[in-house]
Amino acid sequence: MDMLNIDLSGFLQQHRLPAGYQQQIAEWFAPLADTIRMHQKGAGRPIIVGINGAQGSGKSTLAACLVYLLEQQHHIRALSLSLDDFYFTRAERQRLAQGIHPLLATRGVPGTHDIPLARKTLSDLLHQHLPVLIPRFNKAIDDRYPPEFAECINEPVDVIVLEGWCLGARAESEASLAEPVNELESSEDPHGRWRRYVNEQLALFYPKLFELIDIWVMLKAPDFQCVYDWRLEQENKLRDSSRAQYQIMDASQLARFIKFYQRITQNTLRTLPSCVNYLFELDQNRQIIKLTSKPPTLAPMTKKQWLIFTDMDGSLLDHHNYHFDEAVPTLAALEYQHIPVIPVTSKTQAEVELLRDSLQNSHPFIVENGAAVFIPVGYFEQQPADTIEKNGYWLKEFVAPRSHWQSLIEQNRSRYQGEFKTFAEVGIDGIIAMTGLNVHAAARAARRQYGEPIAWQGNGNLKQQFINDLTQAGACILEGGRFMHVSGDCDKGRAIQWLEQVYQTANPDRQMVSLAIGDSQNDKAMLEQADYALLIRSPVHPLPGIERTDNLVVSTHTGPKGWAEGVNQIINTTLHSDSPKLPRGNHG
């Protein structure tokens, strides 16, 4: 279609563009939009187009133009984002300035962006974890807009166009940082502390953002000398359109401001052109004089669905007081990312139901060390095979009822008189004494359905003989942080394997990725079974011995603090990576 015959007057007027820009659209940008659509259609998934350009090069206008063309001509949903919108707030930059270097109060350089927020926003858009809130930055007041002004994306997006002046920039060698490149660096960063911090941030954190980009576009300025004129023109445009003018820069302020960008801009002009897919070379008037193309090869994306299977006592819940306050922010973030947290515990159905209310958790749960799986009716579109419907749940039972195991215990009691106590034997008062639970919680703990907890109080050697006797009678014994659990041939590993397959059957277009979290021996089976394992340190007993060495993290802290620490480490390390392995430095 001939783009010159399409009415672009509204777009040109909105962006205050000269009529001649329409010719540039027709000659250069409409074909680029066609190509982007072709790549997106071939990939069969949302894609990200990254646009690099120096200050004032026209990258924001190009991003808006591509969105307009993709939506109006190709009838797909597109969204334009700026790396600028992910600047830290002014208050956050002031803290950086006070703690690291005063120059970090000025927005712009790597280290002044909220990269985790940018990665999460893009990942949510790619994986259609809707709604997605898009932050916006107000340059007129040098601060992020309040959260209520964030743009809310409620529908899937096909193409995301991300533009930024340092998008794709590469860190420099230590030697290249020694000499200042301008007066700002020589007078205000004489020891190189600021530029080394910026370079370190660019090396450590920005590549994880850049690797999300599928197609790279660069608007290449002739040199850094013309950037000042372009940026001054941009500032004047901002002044004319803004009511809050007190933060708009004049010529002298701008001359200092662009010095913050000089080092990285010059390095990017040298290193990035050979790496991009579509290189538009500009003259000093921002007219395109040459296009060099290296079309990308895009692979279809397999959507990953994380499943977190977690022990409760001593892991998500504090060993001493059962609190989980330190994990609340992480739990909220997981829920926002649609990552189910599935309790896998020695606790009873009644206990877990109360905990789920406290956790605001509506996902399936596994009770009594893998004896049964409870799935809320309607959680999946179809009832899973081999389940029964009972009291609002689809129920999968792996073992015989509690009465069977109580009978086995009583048959062996005479040889071990006085060595142990069972929950059934001590009643509510005894459970309170052994656990510190209140009367209501103790009553819920007493409502076992599939096994019997035992508190061993006697000789350690006899304990092992007792375990052997029950095992020979057909029972399975699991030792937790506080109690032994006598039940049938079940374990947490088998239960999570079954439930993971149920998730996979219900979501055939997604790849399930499982994380198991535990602190004691009765968690061993699921820690070995899951794709990733997180061992939580205990204040009262050593870590359980497990055989795996891959994709294993051991927390630094205990209880819910260690839980949050480990989950964030694993999810943040792997969520945006195609590699199934954790870096070796993260192994326990």
Q: pLDDT tens-digit profile of 542-574? A: 998 888 888 999 999 999 999 999 998 888 776
Lowest mean pLDDT among 77-86, 197-206, 227-236: 227-236
Amino acid sitting at position 10: G
Q: How confident is the model at residue 5 (pLDDT cuts 50, 70, 90)?
A: low
What was the pLDDT predicted at 480?
67
Region 180-196 average pLDDT: 96
What local confidence, expressed as pLDDT, does residue 575 receive? 54
- What is the Cα 424 distance to its own chain's centre? 44
Mean pLDDT of 305-314: 95
How high is the pLDDT of residue 241? 61
Q: What is residue 488's predicted lDDT score, i.e. its pLDDT?
A: 92
SS3 for 72-116 is: HCCCCCEEEEEHHHHECCHHHHHHHHHHCCHHHHCCCCCCCECHH
Q: State the pTM of this model.
A: 0.57
**Strands (DSSP E) along 244-325, which ranges?**
278-282, 288-293, 303-310
By DSSP bridging, strand 47-53 and strand 341-343 are unpaired
Q: Which domains does the chain have, with CATH numbers?
A: 8-293 (3.40.50.300), 303-398+491-576 (3.40.50.1000), 402-487 (3.30.980.20)
The H-assigned helical ranges of 436-521 are 439-445, 460-472, 492-506
User: What pLDDT score was predicted for residue 237?
Assistant: 67
What is the tens place of the pLDDT at every residue in 457-486?
888 789 999 999 999 999 988 786 678 889
CB 457 within 8 A of CB 416: no
Q: What is the pLDDT of residue 333?
A: 82
**pLDDT at site 437:** 86
For tokens 């789920």, the residue is 356
pLDDT higher than threshold 50 for residue 578: no
- Indicate whether 422 pLDDT > 90: yes
Token code pair at residue 414:
């005479």
| Average pLDDT for 512-533 | 94
Assess contact for 314 and 559: CB atoms under 8 A: yes
Amino acid symbol at 139: K
Question: What's the pLDDT score for residue 303?
Answer: 72
The rounded distance, in Å, linking the Cα atoms of 458 and 455 is 9
Cβ atoms of 85 and 149 within 8 Å: the answer is no
Could you tell me the CA-to-CA distances from 494 to 1, 142, 304, 544 in Å, in that order?
A: 59, 54, 22, 18
Residues contacting 123, CB < 8 A, separation 6+: 129, 212, 575, 576
Contact 22, 133 (CB under 8 A): no
Give the model's confidence band at 586: pLDDT under 50 very low, under 70 low, under 90 confident, else very high. very low
Per residue in 127-175, pLDDT (tens digit) is: 888 999 999 999 889 999 998 999 999 999 999 999 999 999 999 988 9
For residues 522, 524, 529 and 532, what is the CA-based torsion angle, rounded to 10 degrees?
120
Percent of the chain past pLDDT 70, that is, above it, reads: 93
pLDDT of residue 588 exceeding 80, the answer is no
- State whether the Cα torsion 429-430-435-441 is positive or negative: negative
pLDDT at 576 over 60: no
Between 394 and 335, residue with greater pLDDT? 394
Q: What digits encode the pLDDT tens for the residues 378-415?
A: 999 899 999 999 999 999 999 999 999 999 999 999 88
